[in-house]
Amino acid sequence: MADEVYALTERGKSELQGGATSCTPRELEILVLVDGKAGAGAVAARAKSVPAAEAPGVLQRLLQLGLIQKAGADAGQGYSFIGGGELLSSASREADAGTADLRRNGYYVSIARRAAQARTPAAGKALSVLIVEDDPVLAKMLGHLMTLEGFAPQVAFRSGEIAAAFGREPPPDLVLLDVVLPDEDGFAVLARMKGDARLRAIPVIMVTGRTTREGVMRGLAGGADGYVTKPIQYEALANGVKAVLGLGVAGEPPAASAEQLGADDTLSELRREYRRGLPLKLARIEELAKAGKLEELLRMAHSMAGAAPTLGLAPVGAAAKALEEALLAKDPEKAARLVAALRAAAKAAA
């Protein structure tokens, strides 16, 4: 089996995109690693929490479940790119090139493990959801979506706010956790929660633009119950939230339909608010680029790459993501060109 190459089936692809899964943590980790290219031995070697001796059995189980298949003439495509949201071409050739790289290398998923037992709120109260998100408009949007699903949202931005939210009684029933935050790392927040007897049972869904297999594996191996990559798909997120809380049934539609969301005045105003704020964001990005403050520039590019397409500005998100990739690759010349590309995309969206 060490040389056997496996690819996801359509059913396996749906398991990683549908917002809810019944796979065990070990099955899920191996499923995330299957790409239609690496042999079974390489998949086993990359697994973080599955002992190498047990990986063949997990692969066999996934094969029996119809989630993977042996790669061949008809099955060798794999899914190195999983479309959790389409990336549209941006306003320049540079941004287009960056987007093409993402189509090849990005890893878009919406995974949430279904809880065995439902969480029940106190009498007369709704289940609470703590939203830890660095973009304030996206945080408001997520809060509104959670309200539509019948939950009581609260928002935290910085480490002090996160600590205060965890210190309240009762603590939140669910945490939607971004990875890149102004003064905190989401994985560190997750680790602290899992090391605290009072907080470790709270389900956590990572909601992030960190679109790599390594990011997904790190979150799941760290104890997250789900991992949703941006741009956020409402139906998959709603399904995931209900899954980790043990609510509803598999395949149940969310409370609000696509038509209702399209006509929702609050969501429309939030999209306009984000659009109005683009000039200030862009001015700050250009200021950081000129000053060579690359770490803060990277954080802003990452934030915009996730928020903009979720709020209806896919070309801006694609240009920001391409800038993020250039900064991660430590290519300042390309990054400078992509700042100009981002300016053009934002101008076209204004």
What does the pLDDT look like over 244-283, one tens digit per residue? 999 876 667 777 777 888 888 999 999 999 999 999 999 9
- What pLDDT shows up at residue 340? 92
What is the separation of C-alpha 19 from the centre of its chain, rounded to a whole number of angstroms?
11
The Cα 102–Cα 90 span in angstroms is 13
Helix/strand/coil for 156:
strand
The Cα 96–Cα 315 span in angstroms is 9
The candidate with the shortest Cα–Cα distance to 7, out of 38, 28, 47, is: 38
Fold of 110-253: Rossmann fold (3.40.50)
Structural Rg of the chain based on CA atoms: 20
Domain boundaries, the chain: 6-80, 110-253
Are 44 and 71 in contact by the 8 Å Cβ rule? The answer is: no
Helix/strand/coil for 263:
coil
Q: Calculate what percentage of the chain has a pLDDT beyond 70.
A: 88
Q: Whole-model pTM?
A: 0.83
The Cα 204–Cα 194 span in angstroms is 10
Are 31 and 8 in contact by the 8 Å Cβ rule? The answer is: yes
The candidate with the shortest Cα–Cα distance to 13, out of 38, 34, 41, is: 34
Are 185 and 157 in contact by the 8 Å Cβ rule? The answer is: no
Bridge partners, residue 180, by sequence: 185
The Cα 210–Cα 196 span in angstroms is 25
Tens-digit pLDDT profile for residues 193-215 = 999 999 999 999 999 887 778 88
The Cα 113–Cα 223 span in angstroms is 11
- pLDDT tens for the chain, 350 residues long, are 557 899 989 899 888 888 888 888 889 889 988 888 888 888 888 888 888 889 899 999 999 999 999 886 344 333 333 333 333 333 344 444 444 444 444 567 888 888 888 888 877 889 999 999 999 999 999 999 999 999 999 999 899 999 999 999 999 999 999 998 888 889 999 999 999 999 999 999 999 887 778 888 888 888 999 999 888 888 889 989 999 999 876 667 777 777 888 888 999 999 999 999 999 999 999 999 999 999 999 999 999 999 999 999 989 998 999 999 899 999 988 999 999 999 999 888 87
Residues 6 or more apart in contact with residue 61 via CB below 8 angstroms: 27
Bridge partners, residue 8, by sequence: 68
The Cα 345–Cα 318 span in angstroms is 9
Place of tokens 């899964």: 21
Place of tokens 């309200």: 147
Residue type, 55: A
- What pLDDT shows up at residue 189? 95
- What pLDDT shows up at residue 180? 87
Long-range contacts of 333-339 (CB under 8 A, 24+ apart): 334/94, 335/289, 335/294, 335/297, 336/289, 337/92, 337/94, 338/94, 338/95, 338/98, 339/285, 339/286, 339/289
Q: Is the peptide bond before 254 cis (omega within 30 degrees of 0)?
A: no
The candidate with the shortest Cα–Cα distance to 238, out of 171, 165, 176, is: 176
Residues 6 or more apart in contact with residue 338 via CB below 8 angstroms: 94, 95, 98, 319, 322, 323, 326
The Cα 152–Cα 317 span in angstroms is 29
Are 46 and 32 in contact by the 8 Å Cβ rule? The answer is: no
The candidate with the shortest Cα–Cα distance to 186, out of 200, 203, 172, 204, is: 204
Helix/strand/coil for 69:
strand
